[in-house]
Every structure is written in C-alpha cells, then in structure tokens.
Chains A and B, each alone.
Chain A
Amino acid sequence: MNLLGFLTRRGSAPVARERLQILLAHERAAFGRSDLVTVLRKEILAVIAKHMAIDGEKVKVTMDRGGDVSTLEIDIELPTTPATPALATA
C-alpha cells in the first residue's frame, strides 16, 4: 500500500455506521408498515387493473432510501395490444 493510500484509509466501519443510520431512520418512521412496498404494489396494481388488463408479474415497485430524499420507482410493462378496460365495458 502506498503512503497516500495508507493516510486516506478509513476502513469499512464508517460506511456501515452511515448505512445503518439512514436505514434505521426510515424503518423507525415506517414502524408497523415494514410491508409498505408490498402494500403499494398491490394497491397500484388494483387501480391500473380497473382500466386495462396487465400482467401482475410485470409490475416492479422499488424503493431507494437516501439520506435526504427517497425515491419510489414504479415500472409497469403495458401489453402491446391494449386489452378492453374492465370498467369501460361495465
């Protein structure tokens, strides 16, 4: 290891500490709702299914928790031939 590398070495523990602090801040806030992503996925799917036939396997809901901002990413693959909306016929 060169001298510069030795001087700037911090070890992995500070990373562990930071990751934990961010994660636990979110988990404590959402206490009792640790299944939030699952619930969102189910409800979003139900809303869309009212209007078009979609494949439940082709809906991806991911959560990226950051220190200041968190993002919720919803990725829905729509069928190539739009099916008849379930509600429109009703």
Chain B
Amino acid sequence: MAKVLVVTSGKGGVGKTTTTAALGAALAQQGQSVCVVDFDVGLRNLDLVMGAERRVVYDLINVVQGDAKLPQALIRDKRLDGLSLLPASQTRDKDALTDAGVARVMDELRDKFDWVICDSPAGIERGATLAMRHADVAVVVCNPEVSSVRDSDRIIGLLDAKTARAEKGEAMEKHLILTRYEPGRAERGEMLRIDDVLEILSIPLLAVVPESEEVLKASNVGSPVTLNNPASAPARAYADAVRRLKGETVAMVIPTERRSLMSKLFQRRAA
C-alpha cells in the first residue's frame, strides 16, 4: 500500500517539477517502487524533466475517463527499475478530471507502488486541489522570497482544509523543502534565512536545496538531478530528504558543491 505524497507550492517556478522528479528518482535509487504523477493538465512538464517526452502514449485523463488502462499509460523509466511516470494530458482541459475518476486511479496506484508522488500545478484552483486531495503527506516547495512564502502559507491552509484527510478530521503531515537557497546571501542579510521561513510557516523542514547550476544541467538532458549527478549538492539534499521521508534520522546540513582542485584553479584563472 503506497504512501501518497503531493508536491505543491501555490507559486509557479519554485521547483515543484524538479523536486518531484528528484524525490521520485531518489526513492527508486534507494530501492523503493515509485510512480510520479503529473497533475498539470495542459502544461505538462514532468515528462520532459524526466526525459520521457517521446514515450508518452496515454495520459492521466485517458485513464481517468477509462479510455486506457493504467498499465498502458504508465511509462517505466529506462534507467531506474521501480520508477514509473503517469503523464498529464497536454491537449485536454483539467475539467476532464472527475473527482471519482481521480479517486479510482489513485486507489489503483496505491496497490501497485510503495510511493505515489503527485506533481501539483501552480495556483490554488481545481488542478491543485485535486493533486493534494488524496495525499497522506505534503511537501511544500518554497523559495526564500516573500511571494513564495506567502503562497506557501496559503497552500498550507488549503492542505488543512481541502484534502480527504483534513475532511475526515485527520492531521495532514506537511514538510517544507526550501529551494534555491544561497547561504552566503542569507548570511549577509540579503535573503530570508532558513529559520525566518520556518518561523513564519511553522512546518518541519525536510531539506534545503541550495541554488545550483546542476538543476538546469539535469533538466537540459532530461534526467532527475539525483540521477544525473548524484554527488552534486542538490542531489545530496534530495537524497537526504528521501531518507527522512522513509523515517531515517539524518542530520540537517546544507550541502555545498565539492569542487576539484583543477576546477578551482580554472575558476580563478577565468575570474
């Protein structure tokens, strides 16, 4: 029976899809069976970030409407055993997702995998509330920036009000992943610090993903950052996040890039 996790943020462009791909791949790398589900109907991108854009035949809406069976629509990752993708539809409208249809597909996914990760669309409309609806755990992705923090607060309110768990009166487990964090700028007072964001949002911290060129490099080639360069700072942050999700106790550190002596020398010469 899978644990269903929603990756959400309210604001767009903070790293939901990057985080979904990275957590999904990291869980699979740690031996779990995982399905990542794209709920961003009309603006799908998880397929592209995962490098599966040319293999999409059926999508979530086809399965919800019964035009395709779930196994036909699932795309198995070629690099990682245990990792599958259920893409969103690029052409259809999100209104094609019925509440009952989504509930049925989520139940089917729960039976097949250890983890189901739902990549929420931005905003607080139906697409976002459907993505969080069946979640057991929520990961709120936030940048250390005022508009992102405000939107995260709003999403936390929705998680406590509009999810199936909340409606049954059960607690919704919520975690924060702070992305694009720059320790140096926070130190100089130019960027909100980790404890500022934690104090304002008051949900537990799952990981701090530092700003890194590795994220763009990975999406350029269609590979989750944890798979593309497992030694990179963001990959280590996501790998630690996954260990925490699995219940392991891992000391909270902000990973930094380990650079070789050669690259340091070249960097200095270029500067």
Q: Nearest B residue to A31 by beta-carbon distance?
A: B157
Question: Contacts of A20 on B, CB cut-off 8 Å?
Answer: 146, 149-150, 200
In the complex with contacts A9-B189, A21-B200, A16-B146 CB distance below 8 A: yes
- Contact B200 A17, beta carbon cutoff 8 Å: yes
Stretch at the interface among B37-45, B50-58, B190-198, B238-246: B190-198
**Size of chain B's interface in residues, with CB distance under 8 A?**
16
A13 within 8 A of B: yes
Q: Main SS of the interface on chain A?
A: helix
- Contact B189 A11, beta carbon cutoff 8 Å: yes
Bound complex: CA A10 to CA B153 (Å)? 26
Stretch at the interface among A22-30, A42-50, A64-72, A75-83: A22-30
B154 within 8 A of A: yes
Smallest CB separation, A46 vs chain B (Å):
29
B186 within 8 A of A: yes
Bound complex: CA A17 to CA B149 (Å)? 10
Bound complex: CA A90 to CA B190 (Å)? 63
Which 9 pairs between the two chains have the least Cβ-Cβ distance? A11-B189, A17-B196, A13-B189, A16-B146, A11-B190, A24-B153, A13-B192, A20-B200, A16-B192
Chain A interface residues (CB < 8 Å from chain B): 9-14, 16-17, 19-21, 23-24, 27-28, 31
